[in-house]
């Protein structure tokens, strides 16, 4: 059958980011209400609930999917507006909605709704799966075009966002009509923990006066209480008096639901209902919780009594008989989930009861294990920034590492430690036409071992921060237009053999003494003064090792008139690293006041490094230097800065062992560290001396 093109509508969703950003937040009640596939960017106010429904273009779905109207054939006069349109996801094995600005650790009710309505003109209702975060949630099997399906779960959301994903299982194109999120109180639904959620099977309001759904605003949590009417089997009962929840009630059933109830027809003594377990792909025999709500709606004379037992499959479920309280709700529920082949619930009056049993409302849930952990949040935010910066498409949707190894984003490899979140260990973005600089976010993939960025169009410098990746063993930057030099921290790793660094085209590179070209040595020396300014107490430290050619160089520093100047004794193996054997070293200490003079009171900023600003300065002999000052607001901490200083000294001055260096730091003395090559980010000066 041919598609009917007039039904197929492409979403024109080019609304401004600011407007959409505001919508991505929950509203003042913490609700998120999405009308999937709704066109335009104004949204609509539901005229039953008065809730504002937003369209799902833009950042909810990362622009994935297309909007469609359902076929007019399936639109009925009283149909709710939210069924009119859908968003479908023809491409990709997994497509996700990201609901943001949540409270980590809070319980949320998430409800997805589906009506196929032959939106695609194919008359083929599809089947697919739903995931909540990295946990399997529920299958969606649409059997008829006019079937309206709700899938609801109550879960603890561990992070400040949750992703709801539609998984293509090969049984048709996944689509969705609506998606809602409602925050609950932490004390509600005590069966819900970080390890398990509850998937709704049924939520019934017994004996309603109107055959209508009860929801928001009657239910402040906007649960859907479906009407259960059958006057043939049951006698309905209701009150207009106010019905209240007990203090610390776990369920806060709305009064409108509690005001109606059923009792057995013709004074019978039993209420019975049953359900069959619904096998799930992830659990062939799920366990169930039933929550029953009881309230006495009649003011009973003193000689009357309503008392009953609750039985499951003919066995007492609760040892104690239940006597509902007048106009107060009382829940009865199991605290441990029951796993049976069938569930027959019988509520029978006790022998001494003069009145039949009563029930006002019922909720039945299956247990959803939520033990899969999402990828480490630091890794997630780093890789999300990388995705945004390089506009990586393909399957970079949902959780980067899972669930399972099937869903992992391509180009990534993860490790799955027991009982802790998965981590990203390998990133191969070679030949992906990446443009721009090397993202600093790569340095936030803290346990990455392999990073292949080869054969792209990357430009700019290698970020200094990559030196902090302690697990990194392979870094392939070849086939790019990267400039500047390799950061010092990476050089250390290359030297000690812990890093396989591949590159080409990088100027001023001096990874090994032997590879430094003599012409460069003659023409360029970089000076680098590093200063941590530690919060209140200004601990100022900089290291300087002057290295210059013996020929015609030696005199300049020796002639400088600084009283604190000290000569270091030798340079041992370090000599080979930088220069030919004629290298000489001088070690000099500066005070903060000296550096103020050198930099003319920190006037000229050369650039911004990972730790803070880098300032231009001149020594007494007019030698130009770069002074790096640790900023208070630096993202990287003081400890890392000091560690970098120490490792710098460790490498550059064999005579300066770690402990003495620390002492130097403590004495608030200053050393200046000079070495050839341009340090990483290009923010330090290259000195020219004739």
Ligand X SMILES: *[C@@H]1O[C@H](CO)[C@@H](O)[C@H](O)[C@H]1NC(C)=O
Q: What is the DSSP letter of 554?
A: H
Q: Answer yes or no whether residue 123 interacts with ligand X by CB under 6 A.
A: no
Q: Answer yes or no whether residue 514 interacts with ligand X by CB under 6 A.
A: yes
CA distance 296 to 306: 9
Q: DSSP letters along 319-376, please? A: SS-B-PBBTEEEEEE-SS-B--S-EEEEEEE-TT-SB---B-EEEEEEEEE--PPPP-
Stretch that binds ligand X, among 265-273, 375-383, 527-535, 566-574 (CB under 6 A): 265-273
Stretch that binds ligand X, among 199-207, 376-384, 511-519, 528-536 (CB under 6 A): 511-519
Q: Answer yes or no whether residue 121 interacts with ligand X by CB under 6 A.
A: no
CA distance 643 to 486: 18
Stretch that binds ligand X, among 217-225, 344-352, 604-612, 668-676 (CB under 6 A): 344-352
Closest distance between ligand X and the C-beta of residue 314, in Å?
A: 6
Q: Answer yes or no whether residue 77 interacts with ligand X by CB under 6 A.
A: no
Q: Answer yes or no whether residue 474 interacts with ligand X by CB under 6 A.
A: yes
Please give the structure tokens belonging to residue 379. Answer: 């890794």
Q: Answer yes or no whether residue 351 interacts with ligand X by CB under 6 A.
A: yes
Query: Which residues make beta-bridge pairs with 361?
Result: 205, 293
53 vs 309, which CB is nearer to ligand X? Answer: 309
Closest distance between ligand X and the C-beta of residue 512, in Å?
A: 3
433 vs 600, which CB is nearer to ligand X? Answer: 433
Q: Pattern of binders to ligand X over 434-463, x per CB under 6 A?
A: ------------------x-x---------
Stretch that binds ligand X, among 29-37, 361-369, 395-403, 510-518 (CB under 6 A): 510-518
Q: Answer yes or no whether residue 146 interacts with ligand X by CB under 6 A.
A: no
118 vs 452, which CB is nearer to ligand X? Answer: 452
Closest distance between ligand X and the C-beta of residue 190, in Å?
A: 26
Q: Which residues of 465-502 are buried (b: 16+ CB within 10 A; e: fewer)?
A: bbbbbeebeebbbbbbebebbbbbbbbbbeeeeebebe
CA 15 to the chain's CA centroid: 24
Closest distance between ligand X and the C-beta of residue 121, in Å?
A: 12
Closest by CA position to 398, among listed 378, 374, 418: 374
Contacts of 626 (CB under 8 A, 6+ apart): 526, 527, 528, 529, 606, 614, 615, 616, 617, 683, 684, 685
Q: Answer yes or no whether residue 56 interacts with ligand X by CB under 6 A.
A: no
CA distance 528 to 542: 8
- Binding residues among 294-333 for ligand X as defined by CB under 6 A: 309, 311, 313-314, 316
Closest distance between ligand X and the C-beta of residue 567, in Å?
A: 26
Q: Answer yes or no whether residue 470 interacts with ligand X by CB under 6 A.
A: no
Among 431, 435, 457, 591, indicate the residue that binds ligand X (CB under 6 A): 431
- Long-range contacts from 579-584, C-beta under 8 angstroms, 24+ separation: 579/513, 579/521, 579/547, 579/549, 579/676, 580/521, 582/549, 582/550, 582/551, 583/547, 583/548, 583/549, 583/550, 584/546, 584/547, 584/548, 584/550, 584/553, 584/554
Stretch that binds ligand X, among 209-217, 513-521, 548-556, 665-673 (CB under 6 A): 513-521
- Location of structure tokens 């992906």: 432
- Binding residues among 57-76 for ligand X as defined by CB under 6 A: 69
Total chain residues near ligand X (CB under 6 A): 30
Site residues for ligand X per CB under 6 A: 6, 9, 47-48, 69, 84, 266-267, 269, 274, 309, 311, 313-314, 316, 342, 344, 348, 351, 430-431, 452, 454, 474, 476, 502, 512-515
């Amino acid at each position: 059958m041919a598609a009917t093109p007039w039904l197929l509508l492409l979403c024109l969703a080019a609304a401004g980011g600011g407007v959409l950003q505001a919508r991505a937040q929950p509203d003042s009640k913490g609700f998120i209400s999405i009308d999937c596939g709704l066109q335009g960017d104004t949204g609509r106010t539901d005229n039953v609930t008065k809730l504002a429904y937003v369209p799902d273009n833009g950042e909810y779905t990362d622009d994935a999917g297309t909007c469609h109207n359902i076929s007019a054939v399936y639109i009925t006069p009283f149909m709710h507006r939210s069924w009119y349109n859908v968003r479908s996801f023809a491409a990709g094995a997994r497509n996700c909605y990201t609901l943001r600005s949540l409270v980590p650790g809070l319980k949320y009710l998430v409800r997805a709704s589906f009506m196929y309505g032959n939106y695609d003109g194919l008359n083929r209702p599809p089947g697919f799966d739903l995931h909540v975060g990295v946990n399997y949630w529920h299958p969606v099997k649409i059997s008829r075009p006019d079937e309206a399906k709700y899938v609801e779960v109550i879960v603890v959301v561990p992070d400040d966002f949750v992703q709801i994903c539609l998984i293509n299982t090969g049984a048709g194109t996944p689509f969705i009509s609506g998606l809602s999120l409602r925050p609950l109180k932490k004390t509600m639904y005590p069966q819900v923990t970080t390890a398990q959620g509850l998937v709704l099977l049924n939520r019934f309001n017994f004996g309603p006066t109107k055959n209508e759904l009860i929801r928001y605003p009657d239910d402040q949590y906007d649960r859907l209480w479906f009407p259960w009417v059958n006057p043939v089997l049951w006698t309905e009962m209701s009150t207009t008096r106010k019905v209240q929840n007990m203090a610390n009630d776990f369920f806060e059933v709305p009064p409108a639901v509690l005001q109606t109830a059923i009792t057995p027809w013709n004074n019978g003594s039993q209420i019975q209902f049953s359900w069959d377990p619904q096998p799930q792909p992830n659990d062939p025999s799920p366990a169930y919780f039933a929550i029953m709500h009881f309230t006495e709606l009649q003011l009973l004379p003193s000689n009357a009594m309503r008392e009953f037992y609750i039985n499951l499959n003919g066995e007492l479920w609760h040892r104690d008989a239940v006597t509902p309280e007048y106009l107060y709700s009382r829940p009865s529920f199991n605290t441990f989930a029951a796993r049976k082949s069938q569930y027959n619930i019988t509520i029978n009056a006790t022998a001494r009861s003069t009145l039949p049993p009563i029930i006002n409302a019922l909720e039945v849930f299956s247990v959803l294990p939520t033990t899969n952990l999402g990828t480490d949040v630091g890794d997630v935010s780093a890789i999300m920034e990388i995705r945004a910066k390089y506009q990586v498409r393909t399957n970079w949707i949902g959780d980067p590492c899972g669930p399972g190894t099937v869903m992992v984003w391509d180009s990534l490899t993860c490790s799955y430690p027991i009982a802790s979140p998965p981590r990203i260990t390998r990133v191969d973005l070679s030949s992906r036409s990446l443009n721009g600089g090397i993202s600093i976010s790569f340095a936030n993939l803290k346990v990455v071992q392999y990073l292949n960025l080869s054969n792209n169009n990357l430009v700019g410098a290698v970020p200094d921060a990559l030196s902090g990746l302690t697990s990194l063993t392979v870094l392939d930057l070849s086939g790019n237009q990267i400039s500047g030099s390799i950061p010092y921290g990476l050089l250390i790793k290359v030297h000690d053999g812990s890093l396989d660094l591949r590159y080409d085209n990088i100027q001023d590179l001096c990874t090994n003494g032997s590879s430094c070209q003599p012409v460069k040595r003659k023409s360029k020396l970089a000076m680098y003064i590093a200063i941590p300014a530690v919060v209140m107490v200004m601990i100022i430290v900089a290291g300087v090792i002057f290295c210059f050619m013996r020929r015609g160089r030696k005199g300049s520093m020796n002639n400088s008139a600084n009283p604190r100047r000290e000569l270091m004794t030798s340079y041992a193996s370090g000599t080979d690293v930088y220069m030919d054997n004629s290298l000489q070293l001088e070690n000099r200490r500066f005070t903060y006041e000296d550096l103020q003079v050198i930099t003319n009171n920190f006037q000229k900023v050369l650039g911004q490094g990972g730790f803070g600003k880098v300032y231009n300065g001149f020594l007494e002999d007019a030698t130009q230097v770069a002074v790096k000052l640790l900023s208070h607001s630096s993202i990287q901490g003081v400890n890392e800065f000091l560690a970098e200083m120490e490792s710098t000294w460790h490498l550059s001055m064999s005579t300066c062992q770690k402990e003495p260096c620390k002492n130097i730091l403590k004495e608030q003395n200053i050393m200046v560290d000079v070495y050839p090559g341009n340090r990483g980010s290009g923010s330090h000066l290259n000195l020219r001396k004739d």
